[in-house]
Structure 1
Amino acid sequence: MNLSYWEIKSWLTNVDYTIVGSGIVGLNCALQLKQRFPTASILILERGTLPQGASTKNAGFACFGSLSEIINDLKTHSEDEVFQLVKKRIDGLQLLRQRLGDDIIDYQELGGYELFSKTDDLYEESQSKKDSINLLLKPLFNQEVFSFKPNEFNFKNCHDTLGYNQFEGQIDTGKMMASLTQLVLGSGVKILNNSTVEQFSENDNSVNIKTDQFEFSTSKLLIATNGFASALDISEVKPARAQVLITKPIENLHIKGTFHLDQGYYYFRNIDNRLLFGGGRNLDFKGEETTELTQTQRIQDKLEDLLKTTILPHTAFDIDYRWTGIMGVGQQKKPIVKQLSNNVFCGVRLGGMGVAIGSLVGKELADLL
């Protein structure tokens, strides 16, 4: 890359902290570092023109897990682990709302609903375990979280009763990321987009970083790339592609709130009188373990089929856009926030809960130093 003396001097010299990834985690990490070390030189490197993973691609659910999802988590995690996961999500959402303000991110607590297909056992299991889950979560909310309500949205091919969570909210993802970015730039942190970190090597008191554009050294390196973490040899994180579509505006779209289906593997909501619908990774876990930002026919067909048969059975609609995001998942749902070596740290594996826990993981990452 053809860099001038000024560019090298102003952006790539005497860098104290370099953060890889300008998503929710990276930006919150930068803000926390600036708070702790006001005079430090902080640089964020972002591989995309916009944050490339999931931070600007997600559905904007301010959620902490549907009833069937929490029940499923208890099959692979202890009760205390699940309690701590939910607590971290709630704490993270509170931090996000405090940091940016509800008006700026268009936070609305319209409640969350869960549809249950008639072809599996999730409905019966959720009914039978609702009380024990409410008891588990009572210390966090001081009242019951999950209940059941009649299906007043005219959804078809599902049970007539929907799971309901009064505490679930929604945000405008674009407004959240734009305001976070403005906060970070306003604090004096620099962001370089279209810069992919290819490799790094460590000395006693610095890290040499090679991107596809330039090389430089930094005192500390903080990795916040989540779904792309495996590219930097963090093997506990696997990429998980999420495919999303959105319809053109629909007149009198009566759907309000956030909606889950099939243990949270499908999710939809009304945004600007359009139906945003995503998911389907469970149709092909291995195939969706990729960082390719493309769609597949199988999943797109399934999303459209569910729209026609279940969600909007009596409503004509046209698809306006389709896109994909890349999440970071692993065998456990607890995020990885740790020191990797003397001068390298990471905050990754958000497990599809980036809106909920991203702010907190970013803060925890900065606090490792």
Structure 2
Amino acid sequence: MKLSYWELKNWFTQVDFTIVGSGIVGLHTALRLRERFPESKILILEKGMLPEGASTKNAGFACFGSLSEIIDDLKTHTEEEVIQLVQKRWNGLQLLRKNLGDQAIDFKPFGGYELFLEEEDSCYHECLQKMPFINDLLRPLFKADVFEKQFDRFGFQKIKEYSIFNSFEAQIDTGNMMQALLKKTYANNIQILNNLTVEHFIDLGDEVEVQINDFAFKTKKLFFATNGFAGELTQNEVKPARAQVLITEPIPNLDIKGTFHLDKGYYYFRNINDRILFGGGRNLDFEGETTTSLEQTVLIQNRLEELLKTVILPQTDIKIAHRWSGIMGVGAHKNPIVKPLSNNVFCGVRMGGMGVAIGNLIGQELADLI
């Protein structure tokens, strides 16, 4: 790649901060660096045409954990750790709303529901039994009960008598959110270059040499905000987790409103523009879905369609309009990894499927490492 004098001068000379990844974390890292260092030269590198991970591909849930997920987390984390996780997600959502505004992200506080399939006896009874305890645990944070049981009012089939309602959950428009964030980034004189892959980097002690495609440049500090693509950087503390999604054609008189979790959160759906957006199913093939490939599989797409037609909209003629996949970053622990990799190289990764809720906070933490 032979660059002109102007390209070298304006984009790749005297770079203070380079961020790899233009998703929620990367953009918030850049904005926080701009706050702290108003005169700095900030460059964001993105390997895709648009953010490659999950930032523009997620379902748009403003959530902080379903009841079954929180109960599950208590089996591998302490009570204090779980409360901190929920608090971080909740604070992150409030910060996102404050930074971009509810109108810009199309924030709709319809509440969230956890549904249980007929065969989910043990999970269902455990949730009903432990709900008062979890409400007690979260009351200091929310000043109210978070979860309550409700009868289904949406006409779902093949589910248990009660669903669990969470009035604090909401939905956003993922595309609108990312466009608002990108506009704010450009307005703060931060450069974004797409279709560039970082192939190699060397911390030289006082600066970092970054190899992109067949070209190298130097930057004072380098930040990785690549979430599910960060496995090698972190000695595989982060594993990619593919989420497959479909969306229907518009459905006349669609009455379903809210965000919905099914099967311990492995499936999730919502209404958007008179359509149902439905994703999940990686628990059908954990090994196969530990991938950075953005393809779809017959196994999971068939299961999504089956649940859509038998549980969610049983009496409705449904046509699928579109299918896609996104890549999350998960690991043995739910806490994100925000740490230096060397003197001048840092990473903020492993959002655990909660990038909408915590991406902005992790971006700030990453920028504040220097």
The AA in structure 1 aligned to 2:227 is: N
Identity level (%): 63
Determine the C-alpha separation between the residues in 1 that align with 2:59 and 2:262.
Answer: 14
Q: Residues 226, 234 of structure 1: CA spacing in aligned structure 2 closer, same or farther, 3 A cutoff?
A: farther
Q: Which residue does the alignment assign to 2:39?
A: 39
Return the alpha-carbon distance in structure 2 between the equivalents of residues 194 and 8 of structure 1: 17
Q: Distance in 1 between matches of 2:233 and 2:247?
A: 32
Correspondence 1:305-320 to 2 at 5 A: 305-320=306-321
2:281 aligned residue: 280
Q: Is the contact made by 1:199 and 1:232 (CA closer than 8 Å) also made in structure 2?
A: no
2:333 — aligned with what?
Answer: 332
Which 5+ residue runs of structure 2 have no aligned equivalent? none
Once the 2 structures are TM-superposed, how far is the Cα of residue 232 of structure 1 from its aligned partner? 3.6
Partner Cα separation in structure 2 for residue 315 and residue 234 of structure 1: 48
State the AA in 2 paired with 1:113: Y
Q: Secondary structure at the match of 2:65?
A: coil
Q: Which residue of 1 aligns with 2:219?
A: 218
How many angstroms apart in 1 are the aligned matches of 2:183 and 2:259? 28
1:40 partner amino acid = S
List per-residue Cα deviations over 1:111-164 (Å, max 9, x = no partner). 000110121211100000000000110111011000011111111111121110
1:22-69 deviations in whole A, cap 9, x for unaligned? 000000010000000000000000010000100000000000010011
Partners of 2:91 and 2:152 lie apart in 1 by 31
The within-5 A match list for 1:99-248 is 99-120=99-120, 121-248=122-249
| Matches for 1:25-104 after TM superposition, within 5 Å | 25-104=25-104
In structure 2, the residue corresponding to 1:137 is in which secondary structure? helix
The answer as to whether partners of 1:195 and 1:213 remain within 8 angstroms in 2 is no
Q: Distance in 1 between matches of 2:358 and 2:227?
A: 12
SS in 2 for 1:291: coil
Residue identity in the other structure for 1:60: G
**Structure 1: how far apart are the matches of 2:333 and 2:38?**
35
Q: TM-score when scaled to structure 1? A: 0.99
Cα RMSD (Å) = 0.8
Please say which of residues 230-239 and 343-352 is displaced more in the overlay. 230-239
In the alignment, the residues of structure 1 paired with residue 153 and residue 64 of structure 2 have an alpha-carbon distance, to the nearest angstrom, of: 23
Residue 341 of structure 1: how far off its partner (Å): 1.0
SS at match of 2:296: coil
Q: State the shift of 1:213 in Å.
A: 5.0
Shift of 1:214: 2.4
Q: Distance in 1 between matches of 2:274 and 2:83?
A: 35
Instruction: After superposition, give the CA deviation of every residue in 1:154-203 in whole Å (9 maximum; x if it has no partner).
Output: 11111121110000011000000001001001100000000111111111
SS at match of 1:10: helix
- Deviation by residue 1:316-359 (Cα, 9 ceiling, x = unmatched): 11000000000000000000111111001111000000100001
Give the aligned residue type for 2:321. Answer: D
Tell me the distance in 2 between the aligned counterparts of 1:69 and 1:109: 21
**What residue number does 1:24 align with?**
24
In the alignment, is the contact (CA less than 8 A) between 1:227 and 1:237 conserved in 2? yes
**Misfit runs of 4+, over 4 Å:** none
Q: Report Cα offsets for 1:199-222 as digits up to 9, x if no partner.
A: 111111111111125211110011
Letter in 1 for 2:174: T
SS class of match (2:341): strand
SS in 1 for 2:231: helix
1:263 pairs with 2:282: no
So what's the TM-score if we normalise by structure 2? Answer: 0.99
Change (3 A) 1:213 1:94: farther
| Alpha carbons 1:67, 1:130 under 8 Å: kept | yes
